Structure 1
């Protein structure tokens, strides 16, 4: 259980281990145990901020779940995770693009923030260009 506010600046070692960490008794990379060797992870050094940006949302979600568990008990994070999974599986109106999930945004708390998608006027994310009645009539097969 971690109450970390910001992710670690060190990259996680889950997918990228050095040859020294994965070597067998002969000093060679053990492919059978650790999979294929990734040269890119050995050659390019990543900036410490890159890992923090990549793991920011996961760390914040983990913090919220741990705080809810400490305050309300084990049922609260289980209920929150169940609600998120149900909203992700639910299909919204077909006039909205697939990337739009208002229910998930409300549960996560992104409905109160303004991101770059909100003001860049990307046509795929806009709903004011669609006539809702025409779309629903087309779905139901109603001819006018």
Structure 2
């Protein structure tokens, strides 16, 4: 992650992409056996400038936050935050927050990671539009004790 104080991501991508011009044979045709199938997405010349900004918005915001913390508090602050995020993302969800599929949390949600990332006060479509049929089909039917036995591999 390169230190940057950019508030808004650039409208054009900063990285270069591989061209398929080198995959053409002497006849000017794409060599599928040597270079794989040709993608239509690669053939699209221009994309809307807003698309790149939306894709890299979170990364730019995180880079700005880490750079500001590094400038104010020193190198230890962003390193500590990265370590905490890594620990929280690998830890299981606490039982007090409910098991995924019980209707308390969204599937794959991690409240602690949301707090560390600053997303705890955001309301996203995933928060509102939880598919109850999908979440109940992934959970074990029955009471809380059966769910815990299944989670701890006691059954």
Q: What TM-score, normalized to structure 1? A: 0.70
Whole-angstrom distance in 1 between the partners of 2:39 and 2:15: 13
Q: How does 1:91-130 map to 2 (within 5 A)?
A: 91-92=92-93, 93=95, 95-96=99-100, 98-123=107-132
RMSD after superposition: 3.3
- Cα pair distance change 1:39/1:17, threshold 3 Å: farther
1:2 to 2:4 alignment: yes
* Structure 1: stretches of 5+ with no match in the other structure: 24-34
Whole-angstrom distance in 1 between the partners of 2:108 and 2:133: 9
* Structure 2: stretches of 5+ with no match in the other structure: 24-34, 102-106, 151-155
Whole-angstrom distance in 2 between the partners of 1:79 and 1:59: 19
Quote how far apart the aligned CAs of 1:91 are. Answer: 1.2
Q: State the match for 1:50 in structure 2.
A: 51
Q: State the match for 1:29 in structure 2.
A: none
- Cα pair distance change 1:74/1:124, threshold 3 Å: farther
**Which of 118, 134, 141 matches 2:143?**
134
**8 Å CA contact 1:6, 1:52 repeated in 2:** yes
- Cα pair distance change 1:43/1:121, threshold 3 Å: closer
Quote how far apart the aligned CAs of 1:118 are. Answer: 2.1
**8 Å CA contact 1:18, 1:42 repeated in 2:** no
